[in-house]
Amino acid sequence: MSVKKHLKHVKGKKKGGITLYALSTCGWCKKTKGLLNDLQADYHYVDVDLLADDEQAEAVAEITKWNPECSFPTLVIDNSRCIVGFKEQEIRGLLKDAE
Amino acid sequence: MPNREISEAQVDAEYQRLKAEAESGGYHLNPDVAFTKDLIRGLLANEARYGHGACPCRLASGIKDDDLDIICPCDYRDPDLSEYGSCYCALYVSGAILRGEKAAQAIPERRPPESERRGMKAGRSPRHFTTRETSLAYPVWRCKVCGYLCAREEPPEQCPICKAKKERFERFM
């Protein structure tokens, strides 16, 4: 999948298998990135608004699988579930036991 | 960074302009100035990118007609202010949040999914009214952003309350 090559890796101590789909212009997405950084999470992210049309369509199709509204931020965890929106407590909970 | 071309001076000027405009209509910008300026930077980036200031927290299509409902202030701002105290991106907030009695937080998306929007657009053709018998001396136009109503041949160029443009009006009666 060509969106994969646009995923940026943020290295951190705590691996939660997190992929963050974000918008470069969005305040809640920025807060989500900030929280993940504060929690020293290891994650990948992509700013979907900055992708070229075909890659953006591909990303939207992928996000829609997890979050039919395709809203941002969408966090996909371990390719098995997702958190939609800046849900601080849920995100903190996700990384509490991660190593 | 993608938004480097938007200068601090531009963001500050737009912040002052939007704040004055909001307050004059009884609306409030988010008192978290750093957060608010980030959103305004995003709005300006979208304006530069698409030619219209689509909501910074939603993925715009870039096609103005399809993005009309999410051009800031969006069609969903006022119901979201009533229900949650802030709009979706939290650029606009209620008096309670402005005064610090309540904090702004992420809220659910009110905009219907694309499949539903397409159906709604088809059902709301302005032609619906052109052949309709009416006893009114003038058609009544409704601002989809704030609900302002006016009876005149055409909607105003700009809503006098929320400053939305003419294209955001719909025929109401």
| pLDDT tens by residue, B103-148 | 999 999 999 988 888 877 665 555 455 545 568 899 999 999 999 9
DSSP string, chain A: -GGGGGPEEE--SEEEEEEEEE-TT-HHHHHHHHHHHHTTEEEEEEEGGGS-HHHHHHHHHHHHHH-TT--SSEEEETTTEEEES--HHHHHHHHHS--
Rounded-to-integer distance, Cα B148 and Cα A15, Å: 51
For residue B89, list chain A residues with Cβ-Cβ distance below 8 A.
26-28
Half-sphere exposure of B68 (CA within 13 A, CB side): 15
Q: Is the ipTM of this complex over 0.90?
A: yes
Nearest CA of chain B to the CA of A69: how many Å? 6
Instruction: Compute the nearest-CA separation of A49 from chain B (Å).
Output: 6
**A16-48 tens-digit pLDDT:** 899 999 999 999 999 999 999 999 999 999 999
Residue B70 tokens read as 């999410």
Report the distance separating Cα A88 and Cα A94, nearest Å. 10
> How do beta strands A14-22 and B149-151 pair?
unpaired
- Name the percent of chain B lying above pLDDT 90: 83
How many CA atoms does the CB half-sphere of B60 hold within 13 Å? Answer: 30
What domains sit in chain B, N to C, each tagged with a CATH number?
8-119 (3.90.460.10), 124-171 (2.20.28.10)
Question: What are the structure tokens assigned to A88, written together?
Answer: 């601080």
Contact A25 B113 (CB under 8 A): no
CA dihedral of B160, B164, B166, B169, whole degrees rounded to 10: -90
pLDDT above 60: residue B56: yes
pLDDT at B133: 58
- Chain B residue at shortest CA distance from A57: B61
Contact between A27 and B89 using a beta-carbon 8 Å cutoff: yes
**Residues of chain B that touch chain A, judged by Cβ-Cβ distance less than 8 Å:** 1-3, 35, 38-39, 41-43, 45-46, 56-60, 89-90, 105-109, 113
- Rounded Cα gap, residues B94 and B84, in angstroms: 9
Secondary structure (3-state) at B68: helix
pLDDT score recorded for residue A2? 80
CA distance B36 to chain A (A): 8
CA-angle at A47, arms to A46 and A50, nearest 5°: 125
The amino acid that residue A17 corresponds to is G
Check: CB of residue B143 under 8 Å from CB of residue B162.
yes
Domains of chain A: 2-92 (3.40.30.10)
Instruction: Report the mean per-residue pLDDT for chain B.
Output: 91
CB pairs under 8 A between A and B: 61
d(CA B95, CA B47): 28
CB contact under 8 A, B57 and A72: yes
CA distance A67 to B109: 12
Contact B52, B72 (CB under 8 A): no
From chain B, pick out residues whose CB is under 8 angstroms from the CB of A31: 35
pLDDT band at residue B1 under the 50/70/90 scheme: very low
